[in-house]
Amino acid sequence: MTKQEILQYRPSLHFTTKKNWLNDPNGLVYFKGEYHLFYQHNPNENIWGPMHWGHAVSKDLIAWEELEIALYPDEHGTIFSGSTVVDWNNTTGFFPDEPGLVAIFTHHQEASAEIVQKQTQSLAYSKDNGRTWVKYEGNPVLSHASKSDFRDPKVFYDEKTEKWIMSLATSQTISFYSSLNLIDWEFESEFGDNVGSHDGVWECPDLFKLKAEDTEEEKWILIVSIGDNGISNMGSRTQYFVGAFNGSVFTSEHDDIRWLDYGRDNYAGVSFSDIPEEDGRRIYLGWMSNWRYANVVPTDGWRNQMTIPRELRLRNIEGKYKVIQYPVEELTSYFERTVDIQNYEVEPSNPKRIEVNERYVDLFLDIKNDADQFGVTLNHTTAHTTTIEYDALNHVILLNRRNSGNVEFSDMFSTDQELKMSERNHVQLRVIIDKCSIEIFIDDGAYAITSLVYPDETCESITLYSKGGNMTVKNGYVAIPAKNATL
Ligand code: FRU
């Protein structure tokens, strides 16, 4: 493999492993000035295989340093997804001297001719800021006699009940367990019958509180990823529920399905634990791929990446509470603006082309629309283009990646990604383009479309166009890598 092949599609702002396969983010936690990102990792091959927890740290959520592998398979199985918490009060007894990290993860035994798939929950702890780990000698700490899909524990400390709460993916439901010490777990309740999408297996839950932007009202959010399936043309995807949690039972306040993302490449995302109260953000990141094609995306030597970390907020949109997301503010310092756009009118006969030629780009457009359709073409190269179009006649945003570069490996690249919106003449778009990745945030994060592309270059230029009327960029910018950015 040549250096060129390794670098070809590799993004700068998004976490990738130096070598080989990566999937779900695991054990996201903030501790002593560092954000920790563990992840599903096969260090031996560039496809999914026996899972380990890889490990990286960052001081600002954007520049990551890859460290040694944190957890290796053992006699209980390979290491599937899970979470990490800080045991501030030594509830486990592992930390007589000072607080440390506890990882709660799934041990997985693959089905064979002799055994059915077996999944159990186990612990490991670290006294040196996650650099080395000791597996708990009493592993596993939680198993189930009959459930074979029993995985992805996400744990938090519930101040109200003074208990640890675990959300666990159990086939087509999420089960909740509680514990005083992370070792002994009691079943509390099971959520999910007759609500939400059941198109695929339920995976990677996350339960946390968010305050509404307008009223400061507090709601509990349950994120649930649903695996690939033959039903949807979206492949694997993430939904969420807005509701209440009383320390034991979660109830959803709606029957409609709410998607976290309208693109095909944001899966298995969860949020960071132990972000200090004075920061107060709920920071999330997802695995930027799709089980439909993750094993065959055309990268050499490494495969798949994380999304940009995003701040989650709760917004009342047309009478419904929606979880919205926006790139963390730390991203801003990696860019400098080269083009400012004010009240620029684009006529159908006169598209506006902006030269870019950089390895990553941040594009912001606040648009007043009088056209039937308007859009942005990302000219990665002359031959490779991706289009983001707003169709005002049908109130829909379409992301077209048919000609975006290498698309032959999956037919999921030959159909559009679609977001239906309400009738409007005002649309705000922010687009982060970073080699093989496009992340679109609409209306200050109200909607996200996250999508992979495999062009030869990031972006030579951008074209703004309109059809059947004019569109006006009231306010916008193009930003490129800051001169002092070290990525
Ligand atoms: C989600 C998932 C998890 C599992 C892990 C295995 O993408 O299937 O449910 O723990 O990946 O790698």
How far does residue 457's CA lie from ligand 1's centre (Å)?
A: 31
Q: Which amino acid is at 458?
A: T
Predicted pLDDT of residue 170: 98
Q: What is the pLDDT of residues 183-195, one digit of tens each?
A: 999 999 999 999 9
The pLDDT mean for the chain works out to 96
Q: What is the mean pLDDT of residues 436-449?
A: 97
Query: What number of other Cβ atoms are within 10 A of residue 269's Cβ?
Result: 27
Q: What does the pLDDT look like over 106-129, one tens digit per residue? A: 999 999 888 889 999 999 999 999
Q: What is the mean pLDDT of residues 154-160?
A: 98
Give the pLDDT mean for 338-362. 97
pLDDT digits (tens, 9 = 90+) for 376-427: 999 999 999 999 999 999 999 999 999 999 999 999 999 999 999 999 999 9
Closest atom of ligand 1 to 201 CA is 9
In this prediction, residues 365-376 reach a mean pLDDT of 97
Task: Check whether 487 has a pLDDT greater than 80.
Answer: no
What residue has token string 């730390």? 330
Distance 263 CA to ligand 1 centre (A): 19
Instruction: Identify the pLDDT of residue 231.
Output: 85
Residue 485 has a pLDDT of 81
CB distance 53 to 79 below 8 Å = yes
pLDDT tens column, 55-113: 999 999 999 999 999 999 999 999 999 999 999 999 999 999 999 999 999 999 999 88
Q: CA 300, CA 41: separation in Å to the nearest integer?
A: 16
Strand, helix or coil for residue 425: coil
For 247, list phi and psi in degrees, rounded to 5. Answer: 95, -10
Q: Is the model's pLDDT at 429 over the cut of 90?
A: yes
Examine the pLDDT at 3 and tell me if it is beyond 60. no
User: Given the CA of residue 151, which atom of ligand 1 is nearest to it?
Assistant: 10
Q: Is residue 261 flagged as an active site residue?
A: no
Number of neighbours of residue 425 by Cβ within 10 angstroms: 11
Strands (E), 32-138: 34-42, 52-58, 64-66, 78-86, 101-109, 118-126, 134-135
User: Residues with Cβ < 8 Å from 332, sequence gap 6 or more?
Assistant: none
pTM of the model: 0.97
Nearest C-alpha neighbor of 205 from the set 155, 158, 280: 155
CB atoms within 10 A of CB 10: 19
Tell me the domains of the chain and their CATH numbers.
3-327 (2.115.10.20), 330-481 (2.60.120.560)
Phi and psi at 37, nearest 5°, equal -120, 110
As given in the structure block, the two tokens for residue 358 are 């950089």
pLDDT at 484: 84
Among protein residues, the one whose CA lies closest to atom 8 of ligand 1: 203
Report the nearest-CA residue for atom 6 of ligand 1: 80
Among the atoms of ligand 1, which is closest to the Cα of residue 287? 7
Average pLDDT over residues 289-317: 97
Side chain identity at residue 376, one-letter code = V
Strands 302-303 and 20-31: parallel
CA of 409 to the centre of ligand 1 (A): 22
DSSP 426-444: EEEEEEEEETTEEEEEETT
Interface ipTM? 0.99
From CA 203, how far away is CA 426, in angstroms rounded? 36
- Asked if 361 and 380 count as a contact pair (C-beta separation under 8 A), the reply is no
pLDDT of residue 486: 77
Stated as kind and residue range, the H or E segment containing 3 is helix 3-7
Residue 348 CA, ligand 1 centroid: distance in Å:
47
Q: Is 247 exposed, middle or buried (0-12, 13-18, 19+ CB in 10 A)?
A: middle
User: What is the distance between the alpha carbons of residues 466 and 482, in angstroms, rounded to a whole number?
Assistant: 30
Q: Ligand 1 pocket: which residues have CB below 6 Å? A: 23-24, 40, 51, 80-81, 106, 151-152, 203-204, 268
